[in-house]
Structure 1
Amino acid sequence: MTADFTQEDRNGRVLSGVLTLKQPGKIRFQYEKGVPQLIVADGKSLYFIDYQVRQVQRWPTGNSPLRVLLDPGQDISSYAKVKPTADPRVVSVEVHDSKHPEYGRITLVFQKDSAAPAGLKLQGWVALDAQNNRTTIRLSNQRFNGPVADSAFRWSDPRIQVRTH
């Protein structure tokens, strides 16, 4: 799946870009031009890359609330619950692993749509980290089952110095 996204953080700052999701375990948040950040999961790890300060943070994919999107083969019934919504066309799934509160909490929002895989179109999510900081992701222009190259989940490491002579 590819989609346009907007991301709003706890301070009300809004960024946008393109989300690419490929099963199993791959996701890329390519931010708009001028935002020196990138978030990529390559099937094993989730990376937050900040090109401005030349830093990379890495987590095992399973240590993130996004694991519910990234590992389709897992049994999430012990830590994911369908929550009722006021709109019968909307399905909300709250993911919180009480054994690992440090992973945070994420609430995924789907809209019933027969053209989407399994009849549900991911509309976005609200994530709360372990410090209760909220980030809201809204998706639009979702496109399903198009070709996505594995190279889309590679990135250049800002920590590597490039020497010029």
Structure 2
Amino acid sequence: MNRRAALAGLIALPAGLTAAGLAGAAFAAPLSAADKALVDKATAYLQGLTSARGRFIQTDPRGSQTQGDFYLQRPGKARFAYDAPASKLLVSDGRFVSEADTRLKTVNRYPLGQTPLALFLAQDVRLDKGVVISRVSRLDGGFSLTMSDGRKQTRGSLTMNFSDSPVGLMGWVVTTVQGSTRVRLTSLERVGGLDAKLFATPFPPARTTGRP
């Protein structure tokens, strides 16, 4: 499985769409009161999601699918483990996101703040003022928020999909010039706490890109 295809939906997002705030985001056009209420609802939900686990299915731009287990522990920690035959593992320890190949026993690291995982894992869920919420859409039983880089330094967008009653994260879509990568959460369970070992980097990193 191609590394970029496997991980694009989790870390390969333009830098403008990283640790920032729904509460402080700019808007491509004035939002209605109802749209703003949905933005506030999504913000409150993400802020309250402290520990969770579940399953995901990821579809790359070519239509190939992979799936696996995920674990979230805010602030800062996450684990995405892809099912065999994939050998990819993504772990955030609070400072770095480590991209591991469990078969080759190699690891590359990226500062958490330079990845879209920072959106889910921040102490205070926010999008910075360089991010534009370009669209609020109603879905069957839910809604979506589409965000882009307001500074126009990068191309691409992130669409987060939520259920409405009750509010819940259903997944997200990362769109770049290479196409769209979709991540659908097939289950999400809030938990009281998770084993710290889940968020440990499995091997010494071969390469670190950037600083936290």
- If the length of structure 2 is used for normalisation, what is the TM-score? 0.62
Query: Secondary structure, in 3 states, of the residue corresponding to 1:156?
Result: coil
Percent identity of the aligned residues?
25
Seen in structure 2, the aligned counterparts of structure 1 residues 74 and 142 have a Cα distance that, compared at 3 Å, is closer
Distance 1:65 1:96 in 2: 12
Query: Secondary structure, in 3 states, of the residue corresponding to 1:147?
Result: coil
Shift of 1:72: 4.1
Q: Aligned residue for 1:157?
A: 203
Query: Secondary structure, in 3 states, of the residue corresponding to 2:170?
Result: strand
Match 1:125 to one of 145, 152, 172? 172
Structure with greater strand share of residues: 1
Q: Aligned residue for 2:92?
A: 41
Q: Aligned residue for 1:85?
A: 137
Distance 1:111 1:86 in 2: 10
Number of paired residues?
Answer: 154
Given that 1:65 and 1:95 are in contact with CA atoms closer than 8 Å, whether structure 2 keeps it comes out as no
AA partner of residue 57 (structure 1)? N
1:8 paired to 2:59: yes
Query: Secondary structure, in 3 states, of the residue corresponding to 2:119?
Result: helix
Match 2:182 to one of 127, 133, 136? 136
Distance 1:57 1:103 in 2: 24
Distance 2:106 2:180 in 1: 22
Relative contact order (alpha carbons < 8 A, sep ≥ 6): 1 or 2 greater? 2
Q: Aligned residue for 1:163?
A: none
AA partner of residue 56 (structure 1)? V
Match 2:109 to one of 58, 74, 88? 58
Q: Aligned residue for 1:17?
A: 68
Given that 1:81 and 1:95 are in contact with CA atoms closer than 8 Å, whether structure 2 keeps it comes out as yes
Query: Secondary structure, in 3 states, of the residue corresponding to 1:68?
Result: helix
Shift of 1:80: 5.0
Seen in structure 2, the aligned counterparts of structure 1 residues 133 and 153 have a Cα distance that, compared at 3 Å, is farther
Larger displacement relative to structure 2 (1-10 or 56-65)? 56-65
Larger displacement relative to structure 2 (104-113 or 33-42)? 104-113
AA partner of residue 121 (structure 2)? L
